[in-house]
Amino acid sequence: MKQPPPDFAIVGAPKCGTTSVHSALRKHPQLFLPSMKEPHYFAYDYPRRREVTKLASYDRLFEAAKPTQLRGESSALYLSSDAAIPALIRRNPDIKIIAFVRNPIELFVSLHNEFVKTLDEDQTDPEEAWIIQGARAGGKHVPSSCKVPALLQYRSTCSLGRQIERLCTLLPAEQRLVIVFDDLKSNPTAVLRQITGFLAVTGIGDFKLVHENGFAQFKSRFVARLAQLSIVNPLIRELRSRTKPLLNDVGLHPIGWMIGKNLKPIPKPVLRPAFREELEHAFRADVELTEQLLGRDLSHWCAQHDGLQMSSAASL
Task: Please name each of the domains of the chain with its CATH number.
Answer: 8-302 (3.40.50.300)
Is the pLDDT confidence value at 160 over 50? yes
Better-scored residue on pLDDT, 231 or 18: 18
Q: Give me the percent of the chain exceeding a pLDDT of 90.
A: 70
SS3 content of the chain, % helix, strand, coil (to 5): 50, 10, 45
| pLDDT value at residue 190 | 92
| pLDDT value at residue 303 | 81
The number of angstroms, rounded, from the C-alpha of 203 to the middle of its chain's C-alpha atoms is: 26
| pLDDT value at residue 159 | 98
- Among the residue ranges 70-84, 110-124, 254-268, 284-298, the one predicted with the least confidence is 254-268
User: Would you place residue 207 in the very low, low, confident or very high pLDDT band (cuts 50, 70, 90)?
Assistant: low
User: Would you place residue 141 in the very low, low, confident or very high pLDDT band (cuts 50, 70, 90)?
Assistant: very high
* CA–CA gap between residue 25 and residue 31 (Å, rounded): 7
Shortest CA distance to 181 belongs to which of 35, 38, 20?
20
Q: Burial code of 143-174, b = ≥16 C-beta within 10 A, e = fewer?
A: eebbbbebbbebeebbbbbebbeebeeebeee
What number is the average pLDDT over the span 244-252? 66
Is the pLDDT confidence value at 84 over 70? yes
What number is the average pLDDT over the span 177-199? 95
Share the mean pLDDT of the chain. 88
In this structure, the strands spanning 31-32 and 263-265 are unpaired
For 35-48, how does the pLDDT look when each residue is reduced to its tens digit (9 = 90+)?
Answer: 889 999 999 999 99
Q: pTM, whole model, 2 decimals?
A: 0.85
* CA–CA gap between residue 24 and residue 260 (Å, rounded): 21
Type of residue at 85: I
